[in-house]
A and B are shown apart, each in its own frame.
Chain A
Amino acid sequence: MTTKSALTAISPKPLPEDTHSCWSCGSMRAAHFCESCGKVQPPVPVDYFSFFGLPPKLNVDVAALEKSFYELSRRLHPDLNARAGSQEQEWSLEQSSLLNDAYRTLRDPIKRTEYLLHLEGVVLEEQSKSATEQARATGEIKKQIVPPDLLEEVFELNMQLEELRMNKKMGDDDPELITEIGKQKLSLEAKHEALLQELQTYWKAWDSLVSRGHATSEERAEVTQKMVDVLNRRNYIRNLVRDVNAAMEN
């Protein structure tokens, strides 16, 4: 994955200034469509935050984002540009796909975080493509590092799940075991939820850096690393809960 941003991505960014004029009416154009005549403009490769005219901050007003999304859709969607010339229609197609991709990413808290990390050149463990490919090639299960604070819990839970599977094979029934596992699952789900809260505190820290401006790479790395940690742990727990559900069902 390429590292996209340097310092520029982090300093507070106003709406993209453009010295280009509208290809149709000559006015100074807005990023996606001309303010004057409404014609769709050629897409410019920008990151998803910039596309919406937002600073790269993690706390996003989702309601406002949705409103923006609907407004931009009305301007850029191919259906509403169906009688335009073919070049315009092509731009409309590209712009809307960019709009949809950006909206889909930014409206979801986790996707948004992962996207920002991607912009910062940080790779999440689970997503590491080379690790995935290697695992597929060798047929091994991709190794996931157990978060240290969960080690004991995970060990015990895995033992219980193994016991459960054995019971199922034998046709035995152990309602107590199932209750125990159920409790563990609830505890994990609570942790999963709590991690989201923790993530949001790091959002705050990140956003402060953006507002302040001129953050150094060390400062940025400190916050992004914390976010990566939380996401990795959250993913791990999610996979664990999924395994529990699978074992309970079968």
Chain B
Amino acid sequence: MATDRIVGIDLGTTNSLVAFMQGETPVVIPGDGGLNLLPSVVALDANNQPVIGNAARNSLIEMPERAVYSIKRLMGRGVEDIQEELKLFPFRLAEDMQPGEVLRIKLGDKTFTPPEISALILRQLKRSAERFFGGPVTKAVITVPAYFNDAQRQATKDAGRIAGLEVLRLVNEPTAASLAYGLDKKQNGIVAVYDLGGGTFDISILKLHDGIFEVIATNGDTHLGGDDIDNLLITIALDDIRGDLGLDLRSNDLRRNAEAVQAIRKAVIDAKIVLSSQPSVKLDIELPGGQRYRREITRNQYEQLIQPVIDRTVGPCKQAMKDANLKPEQIDEVVLVGGSTRIPKVRALVKELFHREPHTDLNPDEVVALGAAVQANILGGGSEATENMLLLDVTPLSLGIEVAGGVTDKIILRNSTIPASATQFYTTQIDGQTNVAIHVLQGERELAKDCRSLARFDLKGIPPMAAGIPRVEVKFLIDANGILHVSAREQRSGKEAEIQVQPSYGLTDEQVEGMILDSFDNAEEDFRQRQLIEARAETTTILTALEKGKKSAAWGQLTTDEKKQIAKMEKSLVAVNAEEDYQAIRKAIDALNQGTMRLAELMMDTAVSTALKGKNMDDTDLGEGPTAPHPMAKAEFE
């Protein structure tokens, strides 16, 4: 059972968590410093080593060009989609980005794809779990917004793989929350989950019946969350500062400005949290140049300001109820998920929409991770608490094929229970045609150009026949993760057609393989390895030179004692060289250097060894790369 340990992970826009089922209850596994929440912030320190979490949050303010937050907003998206995002968030794209290429963003002077950054966060959680269990953790259930499309889901799976985790299942966040809720309540009925997080909004309506959690309808907005509220407040501050103090912090040229913006961001986030319980709050921020920006914000002003953001949740809620064919009265319970649901105005809106007080006793920050842990438990074979539980989720978006006229032909409708499938038949237009191109889309609109391009499939290897004769059966299958799989067969010949997928916004399998974090995985390890290699190279050099020295005339001039000392140090060095501590090896090298100083001097006098010539005799000549100080000369001490 211990080796089958599967963890549940909430990979959130603002915070991430890892949890597991401890007996009959799911619990969050604490990370560094005993904290349950790991801020989804990644930075590179001065040595280009990744830093994740609270330490990275500090980097955001001190070295903003070396840090990134809310990377979830970029997962599974292309350059064309993120133009709005780029205006509101300090994402720095790699300079040589081409349209249609996978996004790459800059941290310092390195570039990373969003899945790689998410992988660093996942790896941190993995380590916390491994430290907690005292053993390896390689399997996980990871949550995604219910409204995430295929590309966004695939990117999340890729991130898991890069982090060294086998992602057994992607679970929709509201569904996961309902698992945590259902485990707790054990009641049948209709439950609506209203999930407003840092960057995404989901509304799901479920039917709970004897342990079966059946999603009836789901809707949402993958670019709506607490971040948008923060940005409104930041904009006010920046406008104030430009107006009153004549300082335009929006220009990205000055590094100081970027730091100031991040400081403002931190201040407004703290302020909005206060406004959930206090009627007003004062901002007081130090700006570059020493001026202070002060402003009081009342809860009234705040609520007026954020109303348009909160109102954006109304449409999806109404559509979900319509799709579910339910009136608010028919819903038994509304569960709130996500930090942003702590805002009183949000709770008021939910009460108005659903005609009842929302259920608030579950921790909105942790409930998704706990639910993921429950699902992890189910996948692992279940336990007494979960033995009757089963999740039946749905696909949030209709799947369609582009047909003549640029129109979308829907083949699997939104809110279909998954796994779900559809079969289509294709034929050729031209005699001897051996390929058929299929463009697959997700979305509800009529025209292909208004839907989300998932991928283009090329069916190859169709036996050449007259036009219109081949009958290619293409099967579209959406699996339990909500990810599409396509297979094809030419019916007359029975031949499996080869399918080449060009994901519209994603990484190919090969690319993911190449990114798998073993090189990353132990970045510290990497550093240590490098030091070790260098130290061992130095050892080889000094021992080689020592051998030469032993054969030289100068050796005879040493006392027996001196020779004994040298032999002892040599033995020491050889022993420690076989181990992994590069610092100990360096110490032993230094000791041997000291011990052979007289020998070196003697050899210099007799000018015997040609190996000595041209080598690092000069203190200031460090040479290139790992420098092995000349063994017979004075050592370079770090």
Contact = CB atoms under 8 A, between A and B. Distances in A.
Does B bind A?
yes
A97 B419 contact: yes
B528 interface: no
Interface in A57-98: 70, 73-74, 77-80, 82-83, 93-94, 96-98
B212 A70 contact: yes
A93 B421 CA distance: 10
Nearest to A83: B381
Given A73-B212, A136-B403, A79 B420 contact: no
Contacts of A104: 416-417, 420
A100 interface: yes
A101 interface: yes
B169 A79 contact: yes
B94 interface: no
Given A79-B480, A82-B168, A97-B420, A137 B392 contact: no
Interface in B378-426: 378-382, 390-392, 403-405, 407, 416-421
Contact of B420 (A70, A78, A100, A139): A100
Interface in B244-269: none
A77 B390 CA distance: 8
A67 to B, nearest CB: 10
A184 to B, nearest CB: 24
B419 A82 contact: no
Q: Which secondary structure dominates chain A's binding surface?
A: helix
Contacts of B456: none
Contact of B421 (A70, A77, A82, A101): A101
Contacts of B381: 83
Contact of B390 (A80, A103, A136, A137): A80
A156 interface: no
Interface string B475-490: 0011110000000000
B477 A97 contact: yes
Given A96-B419, A101-B421, A136 B479 contact: no
Interface in B1-59: 4
Q: Of residues A83, A94, A97, A137, which shows the largest number of chain B Cβ atoms within 10 Å of its Cβ?
A: A97
Contacts of A139: 405
A133 B404 contact: yes
B209 interface: yes
Contact of B391 (A79, A93, A101, A136): A79
A97 B210 CA distance: 22
Contacts of A73: 212, 390, 392
Nearest to A66: B209
A53 to B, nearest CB: 20
A79 to B, nearest CB: 6
A50 to B, nearest CB: 17
A169 to B, nearest CB: 25
Nearest to B481: A78
B420 A101 contact: yes
B304 to A, nearest CB: 29
Interface in A12-60: none
A204 B477 CA distance: 35
A79 B405 contact: no
Contacts of A82: 168-169, 379-380
A176 to B, nearest CB: 31
Contacts, number: 67
B183 to A, nearest CB: 15
Contacts of A101: 420-421
A241 to B, nearest CB: 16
A91 to B, nearest CB: 12
B410 to A, nearest CB: 12
A68 B191 CA distance: 22
B417 A70 contact: no
Contact of B380 (A70, A78, A83, A98): A83
Contacts of A103: 417
Contacts of B477: 93-94, 97
Nearest to B392: A73
A100 B381 CA distance: 23
Contact of A93 (B209, B210, B480): B480
A79 B379 contact: yes
Contacts of A83: 4, 379-381
Contacts of B379: 79, 82-83
Nearest to B382: A80
B404 A80 contact: no
Interface string B369-381: 0000001001111
B484 to A, nearest CB: 12
Nearest to A95: B419
A130 B407 CA distance: 15
B417 A93 contact: no
A133 B407 CA distance: 10
A88 B375 CA distance: 20
Contacts of B418: 97, 100
A93 B479 contact: yes
B213 to A, nearest CB: 11
A77 B417 CA distance: 11
A137 B407 CA distance: 10
Interface string A158-181: 000000000000000000000000
Interface in B156-201: 168-169
A80 B421 contact: no
A103 B403 CA distance: 28
Given A77-B390, A137-B405, 17 more contacts: A70-B210, A74-B212, A78-B419, A78-B480, A79-B169, A96-B480, A97-B418, A97-B421, A97-B477, A98-B421, A100-B418, A100-B419, A101-B421, A103-B417, A104-B416, A136-B403, A139-B405
Interface of A: 70, 73-74, 77-80, 82-83, 93-94, 96-98, 100-101, 103-104, 133, 136-137, 139
Q: Top 7 A-B pairs ranked by shortest CB distance?
A: A97-B419, A82-B379, A97-B421, A136-B405, A100-B417, A78-B480, A96-B419
24 contacts: A70-B209, A70-B210, A74-B212, A77-B390, A77-B392, A79-B169, A79-B378, A79-B379, A79-B390, A79-B391, A80-B390, A82-B168, A82-B169, A82-B380, A83-B380, A94-B477, A97-B420, A100-B416, A100-B419, A104-B416, A104-B417, A104-B420, A136-B405, A136-B407
